[in-house]
Amino acid sequence: DAGVIQSPRHEVTEMGQEVTLRCKPISGHDYLFWYRQTMMRGLELLIYFNNNVPIDDSGMPEDRFSAKMPNASFSTLKIQPSEPRDSAVYFCASSAGLAGIISYNEQFFGPGTRLTVL
Amino acid sequence: GEDVEQSLFLSVREGDSSVINCTYTDSSSTYLYWYKQEPGAGLQLLTYIFSNMDMKQDQRLTVLLNKKDKHLSLRIADTQTGDSAIYFCAESIDTGKLIFGQGTTLQVKP
């Protein structure tokens, strides 16, 4: 398996533009997570899905952020309109089961998308 | 709420042992984890420990868990330049989410 695939790897956009980040999880994994990493706030969980259904979006910062998972092999994280404070590295991760429930259930991370909003 | 704390930076010489420390708050965590992040890459699971254990050894890695003090440590023996990375401590909480620390940057000097 190629692992978790994210695109684009780098995105530079101007304030006010729409940004769409994409993720392909590992085949067979039923959980998909979106994280954001910044120097100030560290690694934050934004939202996660189980079998394509959003389970917990309490980490989504505001209505400008939305995430979808139309099928088991694809998810998007959209920011509209983007702001400079959204600049961060966004990671997608997938797992077969939830961490610590029954088993340790490793989360496999993609390489991340570095977003810069000017 | 849940919180995981780590020191931000550690510098060691090649061949020395490295010890990275972490404290967590949720006493009901079933598993605790160490993830490694190399430059420009995502996080990768390095090792984990079940909460009813107090030690786990895996080649050059030793994990120590003190449940009473909610303290977790990662010891890397014979540290190599390839071990230079950011190391994240994480706890699993009852919802199955992972709570990550801020990460400790390990610098290994030749």
Q: How far apart are CA A29 and CA B106, in angstroms?
A: 31
Query: What residues in B contact A47, CB-CB < 8 Å?
Result: none
Which residues touch B74 (CB under 8 Å, ≥6 apart)? B18, B19, B20, B22, B34, B46, B47, B61, B62, B63, B87, B89
Residue A85 main-chain phi, psi, to 5 deg: -70, -5
Output DSSP code: residue A25: P
The alpha-carbon gap from B12 to the nearest alpha carbon of chain A, in Å, equals 23
Residues on chain B bordering chain A, Cβ-to-Cβ distance under 8 angstroms: 29-31, 33, 40-45, 48, 50, 88, 90, 92-98, 100-103
The alpha-carbon gap from A91 to the nearest alpha carbon of chain B, in Å, equals 7
Q: What pLDDT is attached to residue A86?
A: 97
Residue A62 vs residues A36, A44, A58, B100: alpha-carbon distances, Å: 14, 14, 10, 21
Mean pLDDT by 10 residues, chain B (110 residues): 87 97 88 94 94 94 95 97 96 86 95
Q: What pLDDT is attached to residue A40?
A: 87
What are A17-33's pLDDT values in tens digits? 999 999 999 999 999 99
B33: closest CA among B1, B67, B74? Answer: B74
The alpha-carbon gap from B38 to the nearest alpha carbon of chain A, in Å, equals 10
A19-24 and B4-6 as β-strands: parallel, antiparallel, unpaired?
Answer: unpaired
Select from B29, B41, B98 the Cβ nearest to the Cβ of A107. B98
Residues on chain A bordering chain B, Cβ-to-Cβ distance under 8 angstroms: 4, 42-43, 45, 48, 56, 91, 93, 97-101, 104-107, 109-112
Q: What pLDDT is attached to residue A101?
A: 73
Are A91 and B42 an interchain contact pair (Cβ–Cβ within 8 Å)?
yes
Q: What pLDDT is attached to residue A73?
A: 95
Q: What pLDDT is attached to residue B16?
A: 97
Are A98 and B95 an interchain contact pair (Cβ–Cβ within 8 Å)?
yes
- The stretches in chain A having pLDDT less than 50 are none
